[in-house]
Amino acid sequence: MTAFQAVLLILLAAGGTVVVLTRTPRKQVIATSFYGLLLSLLFMATQAPDVALSQLAVGAVAVPLMLLVALANVRKELHK
Amino acid sequence: MAGLLLWAITGLPGFGKYPGQYGDLINSVAVFERHVTNVVTAVNFDYRALDTLGEEYILFAAAIGVMLLLREQRGEPHYRLPEHPHIPIRRSEAGRWIGLGFIGVIIVFGIYIVIHAQLTPGGGFQGGAILGTASVLVYLTTEERIYRRVTPKWLVEVAECAGAGGYALIGIAALLAGGAFLQNVLPLGKTGDLASSGTIWLINFSVGLEVSAAFSMLYLEFVQEVPERTTKFE
């Protein structure tokens, strides 16, 4: 295990804790997106670039975007 | 439970040590047999092409499911808020300019990842996901009207069905050409060329088309649920 991978694993543990400890859903979505970016870096560090590209496109862009749109939809229901 | 998990983790092989035989076998054989330099793509789209067919149809079914579920809600009569129609959500200027500059870059990058599937890391699915985010970047930098005009619904639907059907058609064409279903029957070409590796390139192109259209359709369906008007002073 190289030093880069070890540092990334420690950062991932910290990132997961941050995502769980964030309270408001909007900030949680941003934290999830950043966590997805860290995960993609770990996949690159373990020599799996295909998985890293997929994780970047899906876990750092698509899923947080859909979560944000779902949150906006819930806000619309509340304001109606 | 935590004790069992710890015991399982300490029983794993060491970090980075691969104990199986299939990986080394494929590494020694795939470059010469299929004339590719991306062995993962060769495994995904040639040695195990049938599994990837199932995977792609999972995404297809998910997009159709989203379309079905979200269509019900749009039939309701009180869907749009009645006051203040057509006031777009204000986007930040810096975000707009940087985003608009990046749309072209992302499209070119996505197309590069799709068509260099057998040469560089990536492939149909990764390039398609990147192209899908290019379409939603239009929504994030401009307003919903322009986004809906740039990605018309009929084009996205046709592209998705063409991609999904194209994969199966390539397999059937391989059957008609005298091989097994989804066998690589086209000429393989020189390793490192763009036009190498036979059907792998064609399958990747059709998978890229299908995945980009599926992601665009998902974003389109989700974004149409968000009201593009809020209070008058945002």
Write the residue in B15, B125, B226 that is nearest to A69 by C-beta.
Answer: B226
The pLDDT-based confidence of B92 (bands split at 50, 70, 90) is confident
pLDDT of residue A32: 94
Residue among B41, B125, B227 whose CB faces A54 most closely: B125
Give me the pLDDT at residue A79, please.
66
Residue B12: pLDDT band (50, 70, 90) is confident
On the CB side of A8, CA atoms within 13 Å amount to: 18
Residues of B in contact with A73 (CB under 8 A): 225-226
CA distance B130 to chain A (A): 6
Measured between CA atoms, the residue of chain B closest to residue A60 is B133
Domains contained in chain A, number: 1
Mean pLDDT, rounded, for B12-26: 76
- CB of A7 less than 8 A from some CB of B: no
Q: Can you tell me the mean pLDDT for B54-72?
A: 87
Between residues B183 and B155, the one the model is more confident about: B155
pLDDT of residue B73: 57
- Better-scored residue on pLDDT, B14 or B46: B46
Report the residue from A53, A61, A69 with minimal CB separation from B222.
A69
Contact between B199 and B185 under an 8 Å Cβ cutoff? The reply is yes
Q: Pick from B217, B195, B134, B207: which is nearest to B170 by CA?
A: B207
**3-state secondary structure labels for all residues of B55-111:** HHHHHHHHHHHHHHHHHHHHCCCCCCCCCCCCCCCCCCHHHHHHHHHHHHHHHHHHH
Q: Does the global pTM surpass 0.80?
A: yes
Q: Which residues of B touch A54 (CB under 8 A)?
A: 125-126, 129
Range of the domain at A25: 3-79
* 70-129 in chain B: CB under 8 A from chain A: 78, 81, 113, 121-123, 125-126, 129
Condensed to tens digits (0 to 9), the pLDDT of residues B121-135 reads: 888 899 999 999 998
Residues 6+ apart with CB under 8 A from B130: A53, A57, B106, B109, B110, B113
Set of chain A residues whose Cβ sits within 8 Å of the Cβ of B13: none
B49 or B193: which carries more pLDDT confidence?
B49
DSSP B36: -
More confident of the two residues A67 and B142: A67
Q: Is B133–A76 a contact, with Cβ atoms under 8 angstroms apart? A: no
The residues in A 37-56 lying below 8 A from B, measured between CB atoms, are 46, 49-50, 53-54
Sign of CA dihedral B110, B115, B117, B121: negative
Q: Give the model's pLDDT for residue B47.
A: 84
The pLDDT value recorded for residue B44 is 85
Q: What angle do CA B175, B178, B180 make, to 5 degrees?
A: 50
ipTM of the complex: 0.85
User: How far does B178 lie from chain A, in Å, by closest CA?
Assistant: 32
Answer whether B91's CB lies under 8 Å from B140's CB: yes
Show the beta-strand stretches assigned E in chain A.
Answer: none
**Under an 8 A CB cutoff, do B226 and A80 touch?**
no
Please enumerate, as own/partner, the contacts of A18-26 that have beta carbons within 8 Å and a separation of 24 or more.
Answer: A25/A67, A25/A71, A26/A68, A26/A71
Separation between Cα atoms, residue B21 and residue A73, nearest integer Å:
50
Look at residue B233 in the predicted model and tell me its pLDDT: 39
Query: Residue type for B142, please?
Result: T
Between B223 and B84, the more confident residue is B223
- Chain B residues lying within 8 Å of A4, measured CB to CB: none
> Is B128 in contact with B114 (CB distance < 8 Å)?
yes
Torsion of CA B112, B118, B124, B130, to 10 degrees: -30
**Both ends of chain A: CA-CA distance in Å?**
54
Instruction: Tell me the C-alpha distance between A15 and A7, whole Å.
Output: 12
- Which of A4-13, B108-117, B221-230 has the least mean pLDDT? B221-230
Q: What is the mean pLDDT of chain B?
A: 81
**Which of chain A's residues have a Cβ under 8 Å away from the Cβ of B79?**
none
Looking at residue B82, its pLDDT comes to 45
Would the pLDDT of B158 be above 90? yes
pLDDT digits (tens, 9 = 90+) for B159-184: 999 999 999 898 888 888 777 777 77
Q: How far is CA B67 from each of CA A14, B37, B205, B207, B232, rounded to the nearest angstrom?
A: 37, 38, 24, 20, 31
Tens digit of each residue's pLDDT (9 = 90 or more) over A22-77: 999 989 999 999 999 999 999 999 888 999 999 999 999 999 998 988 887 777 66
Which of A61, A73, A80 has its CB closest to that of B226? A73
Distance from CA of B14 to the nearest CA of A (A): 9
- What is the pLDDT averaged over residues B48-73? 86
